[in-house]
Structure 1
Amino acid sequence: MQNEMRLSVFSEKKDRQLVYQPEKCIGCGTCVQACPKGTLSIGAVGAVARGLLDADFLEMAKSEDCLVCGICAKVCPTGALELRQEGKPLTDMSYISRAMRPTSVNESCVHCGLCEDICSQGCIEVTREISTDGKLKVIGKTHIDTECCVHCGWCAAVCPVNAISVEKPFEGRWSRDENVCQTCHTCIDVCPANAIFNKKAKSGERVEKITHRPDACIYCGACAVACPVDAIDVRKTAILPEMEKKGPLEKKLIEVPAPEDALRTQLETDDDACLGCGNCVIVCPVNAFDNRELAAGYLYDMDEKAILGVKNGKISVVNQERCGGDGTCALICPVDAIRLVKKEVE
């Protein structure tokens, strides 16, 4: 459950403020798609989601250019951005997060707890006890924290008595290039809706690298933003809630590709700790995409690597600028000899 939200004032013009609530943000970049001045920046979504980088998904790159128009807040599906005037929130039915019907549970609920178990964001709490009126039944309460709900629909899908109602923010289209995907699992780790997963293959069975659950997807685009090799494409095709001024917002979002990932990190290495094992070199998805033979074990037979290499028995950074900010290298390192650190966005 969400506690008191942390707030960051992104920009201010006269008596109007654009406020960011990082705990609500899912790293989807929808706001970046819609911003008319290009002042918002998103990147290193994979590293942040994996807990490898102490940073927020979103930051304001050029606050002086921000118009404080509120379009970013209007399209945000979770209400992570908020427009305020004289300190009071300006929210009406022209905001997607406000126009969406809150996820709700009706009196048919039997408090079985399946929704609590499956919720991708941990937004549901079920309390129950055996009835004391002599009947064989369970009494209790099912509470849905609508502040953290992302409207994925898992709870409604598993409810045995159809007691939960969910409205999604977007309709869309999801695709992935099987030949480009390096199965780094960054998309799985960042997806707020648990809509992407890795199938378990039986012996001798060939399965796709990454599988998509359309019914759970909210087409936010976080996976596409985070993919270090741009293997995923997510397009919004409609805003689903009935809301005011939907037309102009759809023009900003419909069929627009995911925003470009800003290089907000740089790689740091520790020569004293490094074992020279090369695990980070092999698992780096950009390295593997650049040369397929690398992941097949030809670590030392290649002179050139895209990002990481082993030189004189130690890890070396070949090209910082090509890093996808996913942190897969840091995840596999057994001695913490490589890490991602935050850098200022230019």
Structure 2
Amino acid sequence: MPPEPGLKIETNSKKVRAIRKTVLELLLASHDRECTLCERSGNCSLQTYSEQYGLREIRYPKNAECLPKDETNPSLVRDPNKCILCGACVRACSEWQGSVLGFANRGSKTVVQPMAGKNLADVDCIYCGQCQAVCPVGAITIKSDIENVWSELSNPDKKVVVQIAPAVRVALGEMFGLEKGQNAIGLIYSSLRKLGFDMVFDTNFAADLPI
């Protein structure tokens, strides 16, 4: 039905909610549901909507093939078993950086992957992280080196140095409830020193050189 003046559209009717709930069930049926071990647990759109629509059981059997996780990239981890095929990462990569990610195959075999089915380490990924920033689930995450950092900090024979980017001084402050735009470099410096870092460097002029 084409739109016309006076047309009334219901976006939250009983029927619409039932359809949305079914779609969520189908997504979860082919999804890796180890939520407690996922980095996005508590900050996942699929979790949020499942809670919002009162989803407590999945009526459909899990029939998706378990695909290997790609951990070859030094900055990003790609887990296709958690991908919901929303295409946000594909669009972000295409519009902002390049065309590293894309859809492959058809039907139930559809996946998001780097071009030609390669690993992320084997394509022209510049590690910008925009794909991870827009991913609503845990399909693309930042590779964590936290355990390695703690190991180095506890080594008395090591001098551990940290260097932070200019954007961090504001972004971290906002994450911890400071006023938007407030420079939190002093707090960041003090916190890093308390954690055990021997020296803290703030990248300023050098960050402008590549621009």
Q: Same fold (TM over 0.5)?
A: no
* Structure showing greater relative contact order (alpha-carbon pairs closer than 8 Å, 6 or more residues apart): 1
The structure that is strand-richer by fraction is 1
- Normalising to structure 2: TM-score of the pair? 0.32
The structure that is helix-richer by fraction is 2
- Normalising to structure 1: TM-score of the pair? 0.20
